[in-house]
Homo-oligomer: A and B are copies of this chain.
Amino acid sequence: MEKTTGYHVAIMGATGAVGQQILKTLERRDFPIGKLTLLSSARSAGKQIQFRGETLTVEEAVPESFEGVDIALFSAGGSISQKFAPEAVKRGAIVIDNTSAFRMDPEVPLVVPEVNEAAVKEHKGLIANPNCSTIQMVAALEPIREAFGLNKVIVSTYQAVSGAGAQAIDELNNQTKSILNEEEIKPEILPVGGADKHYQIAFNVIPQIDQFTDNGYTLEELKMINETKKIMNLPSLKVAATCVRLPVETGHSESVYIEIGQNDVTVEDIKKVLSTAPGVTLQDDPSEQVYPMPAMAAGEDDIFVGRIRQDLDEKNGFHLWIVSDNLLKGAALNTVQIAESLVKLGIVSTPQHS
């Protein structure tokens, strides 16, 4: 599609679970698009996708696909990003990459606009979108850090299957039906597409997201630990993570224990800070059974925080329950917000099609 004013945007992985959400998010936030190029692997090329009332055809990505592109949004897996992101940058595009391929590269800003928007200014062509479970946690913790300091984080996650892609959603639904019908099941996707073993997710809990590393942590856990320090610019922050997959379609939940930098802070103080924090909705009234839940957070832009309690032993210890739509704030929305930051801060070149 072409429009008289706006940027040339390319979406790599347009047919995936996150790609679809990126398209919807660009549309409803009215991002200034002059031309939209939809790209994918050969397998999905040729598919047709609706955008602002027009039908667009997905093209197989080649290096030349990025000629003239201003902003390229990548969410087609790490190896695709490694192959094509440098090609896009070489052709003058700014790449916002949803995969983990470049996140810990010191040359690449890792951005959650509510936390470190200014970091986009340091881009050298590539900007990384953090891991879904990291984004929602740092956006909720940053206002607390700003007000009271932050020394330590211990998080246990409750993650939805859509974080593993559209195939994992199908697997959850089909497996659930089979189990309710007392039919045999054959797990094929979760916990990790390429892994040796696959396990039942319906009515089960799998304490593995992504591959294991030598120290017994999964890559997902190390992402949360390392990305949190990088985004918050707190290299000596103590962070521990246990990442767990649940039979939930969309919406990641997190049980988070923090130790802040002050000893005289109350739950009310923390609630006050979060009640005006950008992108955060406080949902915390135990007397009315008000707390965040993924079934209610799915489809919403915000990060929901509740169950805020003071630790019973540590004066500077607090517990929080953080829930957000992993496909929106955890992926597509944050990606589009980064693109919006590029426009707002005048970093992206003037629209070629104006």
A257 touching B286 by the CB < 8 A rule?
Answer: no
Is A50 an interface residue, CB under 8 A from the partner? no
CA distance A143 to B56 in the complex (A): 62
In the complex, chain B residues whose CB is within 8 Å of the CB of A225: 312
Is A273 an interface residue, CB under 8 A from the partner? no
- A residues 273-309 near B (Cβ < 8 Å) are 286-289, 291-295, 306-309
CA distance A253 to B207 in the complex (A): 9
A154-B257 CB under 8 A given contacts A207-B293, A208-B289, A295-B203? yes
A205 touching B253 by the CB < 8 A rule?
Answer: yes
Contact of A203 (CB < 8 Å), options: B154, B238, B247, B257: B247
A204-B312 CB under 8 A given contacts A154-B257, A180-B176, A289-B197? no
- A residues 137-165 near B (Cβ < 8 Å) are 152, 154, 156, 158
A195 touching B289 by the CB < 8 A rule?
Answer: yes
Contact of A248 (CB < 8 Å), options: B204, B294, B313: B204
A215-B158 CB under 8 A given contacts A177-B180, A240-B257, A295-B200? no
Residue of B nearest to A177 (CB): B180
- A residues 220-249 near B (Cβ < 8 Å) are 225, 238-240, 242, 244, 246-249
Report which residue of A191, A267, A321 has the largest number of chain B beta carbons within 10 angstroms of its beta carbon.
A321
B293 touching A206 by the CB < 8 A rule?
Answer: yes
Is A255 an interface residue, CB under 8 A from the partner? yes
CA distance A321 to B244 in the complex (A): 10
B312 touching A242 by the CB < 8 A rule?
Answer: no
Is A317 an interface residue, CB under 8 A from the partner? yes
A242 touching B217 by the CB < 8 A rule?
Answer: no
A293 touching B158 by the CB < 8 A rule?
Answer: no
CA distance A311 to B241 in the complex (A): 9
Is A314 an interface residue, CB under 8 A from the partner? yes
- The size of the chain A interface, using a CB distance under 8 A, is 61
Contact of A291 (CB < 8 Å), options: B180, B207, B255, B294: B207
Residue of B nearest to A241 (CB): B319
In the complex, chain B residues whose CB is within 8 Å of the CB of A253: 205, 207, 244
Is A196 an interface residue, CB under 8 A from the partner? yes
Contact of A205 (CB < 8 Å), options: B158, B240, B286, B306: B158
In the complex, chain B residues whose CB is within 8 Å of the CB of A323: 205
Shortest Cβ gap from A249 to chain B (Å): 6
Is A31 an interface residue, CB under 8 A from the partner? no
Contact of A207 (CB < 8 Å), options: B200, B287, B321: B321
Contact of A255 (CB < 8 Å), options: B199, B242, B287: B242
Shortest Cβ gap from A193 to chain B (Å): 13
A313 touching B180 by the CB < 8 A rule?
Answer: no
15 sample A-B contacts, Cβ–Cβ < 8 Å, listed by A number: A154-B154, A154-B257, A176-B180, A207-B291, A207-B306, A208-B291, A212-B287, A212-B289, A238-B314, A239-B312, A240-B313, A242-B319, A246-B246, A247-B247, A257-B257
Give residues in A with beta carbon < 8 Å to B: 152, 154, 156, 158, 173, 176-177, 180, 191, 195-197, 199-200, 203-208, 212, 215-217, 225, 238-240, 242, 244, 246-249, 251, 253, 255, 257, 267, 286-289, 291-295, 306-314, 317, 319, 321, 323
